Structure 1
């Protein structure tokens, strides 16, 4: 069964909608040097994480500069998982992962994914911009990502341009460990739409 992560949760109200829709994981975005309506401060992120019920995984999404600052942010937020974006080389990810108590997911492009296999606990294969940030709202070559699922030892999380309308096809094509969505389930920038959340989770699970 493909797991579902809803990223860019900015309020407790949206957290409630995400949990009600049946998502497996939520993401909070903190300390990113890019303009995004999903970025919140560590204090609000910690509040959302603390309000998340048991059995829903919490993920800190960050793009730390310098990379060593990730440990301090992770401690303040208290999430189960740290998802790293940016241009860290594989050895940098491995070093940072060793310093963090939580599991680590690293965001990579399809072409770069093989270089990062096994240096983190999972790979988030996304349509990244030049800085290594996600949230572009663009899809990538799902057939190539399906090859990565077969070739790599690391679990693959599919992201990039997913919506309630295309997630069923994405899951069928790629067969990822999980799917990750942010803007594709928003009613307005930075705020989730309950109907879109419900449809996304349902269709990711193969239900019409």
Structure 2
């Protein structure tokens, strides 16, 4: 069964709705260098991470400029995992993985030539449609067939992101066969505010999608 992560949680009411919908993970965006309505303060992210119940994974989504900064943020927020966007190269990702007491997810562009190196460095890859600043959350899909090839070739778990919605997530799962899917803007009523019905539909359709052997 494909797992579902709902990213960009900014409010307790949305966190409660995401958990009630059966999502496997929640993304908390803090300390990023792009302008997004989904960013919270580090203090807010810490409070939300502490409110995530057992058996749901809290993920700090951030864009640190160094290994030291990444480790510092993990120590402050205390998530279950950290998702790294931006310009850290594979050797830096590997260093974060060695030093931080959490699982490390490396966010990569679907066309990045260094995907294999990132896969070796991280615990999981999040394959997204990335903007010029290295941020995700663009709301744009990418070549799912290319990502399907990555899933087939890599041992590292692949999380599919980029332009997913309740309407297309089942097709995405059936095409790519990822470990998990990730959504932010595709389940929002407005920037940073989740549509609880859309969240429920997304999780249901992601987890019930039929993946052929």
TM-score past 0.5 threshold: yes
What are the within-5 Å matches in structure 2 for residues 146-161 of structure 1? 146-161=148-163
Map Cα deviations across residues 76-126 of structure 1 (whole Å, 9 max, x no partner). 111000000011111111112211110100000122222312210000000
Q: State which drifts further: 143-152 or 94-103.
A: 94-103
- CA distance, structure 2, for counterparts of residue 120 and residue 22 of structure 1: 26
Q: Which residue of 2 aligns with 1:165?
A: 167
What are the within-5 Å matches in structure 2 for residues 99-110 of structure 1? 99-110=99-110
Residues 80 and 103 of structure 1 are in contact (CA less than 8 Å); yes or no, is this contact kept in structure 2?
yes
Aligned partner of 2:178 among 176, 179, 183: 176
Structure 1 residue 196 and structure 2 residue 173: aligned? no
The size of the alignment, in residue pairs, is 208
- CA distance, structure 1, for counterparts of residue 169 and residue 185 of structure 2: 13
Structure 1 residue 118 and structure 2 residue 114: aligned? no
Shift of 1:207: 6.0
Structure 2 gap segments, 5+ residues each = none
Shift of 1:159: 0.2
Q: Which residue of 1 aligns with 2:41?
A: 41
Q: Which residue of 1 aligns with 2:60?
A: 60
Residues 25 and 57 of structure 2 are in contact (CA less than 8 Å); yes or no, is this contact kept in structure 1?
yes
Q: CA RMSD in A?
A: 1.2
Map Cα deviations across residues 48-96 of structure 1 (whole Å, 9 max, x no partner). 1111111000000000124421111111111000000011111111112
Shift of 1:45: 0.8
Residues 185 and 196 of structure 1 are in contact (CA less than 8 Å); yes or no, is this contact kept in structure 2?
yes
- CA distance, structure 2, for counterparts of residue 71 and residue 86 of structure 1: 15
